[in-house]
């Protein structure tokens, strides 16, 4: 086992251990991937302000997100097909997040079902909802989330239409992997993944039993592709809020006008996000949009950040720009794909240590005191 010093080390291990189609699914953006790259590049362009001769003993990274105590201002973002990075990956990720003390968000398009994750956790997790044309399915998922005692609903708003991801088309990405010659050769080089997959779940767990015509992966994939709803609007958000009745987090906000509408809709938190650069290629980076949205609505609701976080320094920068929390997706998948539950824990430990050290070197003892004075923007 190589010495793991950073999230990039985990990414490289995951790339070797996860089948190419699934690794590329996680590590890609839409079209030219310009927004995907901008998420990381724009974060890197922000400089931290070094301070010295300040007492920074006994630092604190703990805070709250929608009233929930968290070890650091981070939640695991919802990621689709997580169980294809490592067998039963959603269950392992939820276990690691609970032990570490941060929220885990389960995607509608997960391999493990919401009940699967509830069976291995002892504290409430969050559930992410996609709005489908089949409103009966939407209502059913909300009721299942309630039954599993989920403490918040994350409603993703920026996936009414799928942005094209070239790598998925070229890889023939499917679940399970399509048995082309290239994929067979690739799987042969990843025996550990293949062996784990034999004992893991292999379909969309939340969809099983709902779709008429069978629970096979092909049937469920075809149903899903036809179900993303381009008619989604703020009236639907109001209906979902009423059906849910609990903490509602709106994800996919990148515009001030939409942020104001989200607040008017009663969002307990909004997530500044461009879906990891996987939807509108050419949109601004999440970190570029964050300050203007914080200025517009940060006094009315919690504003969180999502997009490009690979280090604890990135978390510090987002916090300095006003984010009350950050969501991490790809860094989570890198850790999971590299070493399963242990990899997720390692990833979280790395981010917290980097955050803690960077706070100290900027003269800050408490994450709740981080602000614009901690950074230098060009």
Distance between CA atoms of residues 280 and 297, nearest Å: 23
Distance between CA atoms of residues 301 and 262, nearest Å: 9
Cβ pair 20, 168 in contact under 8 A:
no
Q: Annotated catalytic residue: which of 166, 210, 275, 299?
A: 275
372 DSSP assignment: G
Residue whose tokens read 């614009």: 372
Distance between CA atoms of residues 357 and 216, nearest Å: 48
Residues β-bridged to residue 327: 75, 306
Nearest by Cα to 339 from 5, 7, 3, 17? 17
> Is 275 an annotated catalytic residue?
yes
Distance between CA atoms of residues 322 and 100, nearest Å: 24
Residue 332 tokens read as: 């989570």
At residue 290, the 3 state secondary structure works out as: helix
> Counting every residue, how long is the chain?
378
Give catalytic residues, as residue numbers. Answer: 275
């Amino acid at each position: 086992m190589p010495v793991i010093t950073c999230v990039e080390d985990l990414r490289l291990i995951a790339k070797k251990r996860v089948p190419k189609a699934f690794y590329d699914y996680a590590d890609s953006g839409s079209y030219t991937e310009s927004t995907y790259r901008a998420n990381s590049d724009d974060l890197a362009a922000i400089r931290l302000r070094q301070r010295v001769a300040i007492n920074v003993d006994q630092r604190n990274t703990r805070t709250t997100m929608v009233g929930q105590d968290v070890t650091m201002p981070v939640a695991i973002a919802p990621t689709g097909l997580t169980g294809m990075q490592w067998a039963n990956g959603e269950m392992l990720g939820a276990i690691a997040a609970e032990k570490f003390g941060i929220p885990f968000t389960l995607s509608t398009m997960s391999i493990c079902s919401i009940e699967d994750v509830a069976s291995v956790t002892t504290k409430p997790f969050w559930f992410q909802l996609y709005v489908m044309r089949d409103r009966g399915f939407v209502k059913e998922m909300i009721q299942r989330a309630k039954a599993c005692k989920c403490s918040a609903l994350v409603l993703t708003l920026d996936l009414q239409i799928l942005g094209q991801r070239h790598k998925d088309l070229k890889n023939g990405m499917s679940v399970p992997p399509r048995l082309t010659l290239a994929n067979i050769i690739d799987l042969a080089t990843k025996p550990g993944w293949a062996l784990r997959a034999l004992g893991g779940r292999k379909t969309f767990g939340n969809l099983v039993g709902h779709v008429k015509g069978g629970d096979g992966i092909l049937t469920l994939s075809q149903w899903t592709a036809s179900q993303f709803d381009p008619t989604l609007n703020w009236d639907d958000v109001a209906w979902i809020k009423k059906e849910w009745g609990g903490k509602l987090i709106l994800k996919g906000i990148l515009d001030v006008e939409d942020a104001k509408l989200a607040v008017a809709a009663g969002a307990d938190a909004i997530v500044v996000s461009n879906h990891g650069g996987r939807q509108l290629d050419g949109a601004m980076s999440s970190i570029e949009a964050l300050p203007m949205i914080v200025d517009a609505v940060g006094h009315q609701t919690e504003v969180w950040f999502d997009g490009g976080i690979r280090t604890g320094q990135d978390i510090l920068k987002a916090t300095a720009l006003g984010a009350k929390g950050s969501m991490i997706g790809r860094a989570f998948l890198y850790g999971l794909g590299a070493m399963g539950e242990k990899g997720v824990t390692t990833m979280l430990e790395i981010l917290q240590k980097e955050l803690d050290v960077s706070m100290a070197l900027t003269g800050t003892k408490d994450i709740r005191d981080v602000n614009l004075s901690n950074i230098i923007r060009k």
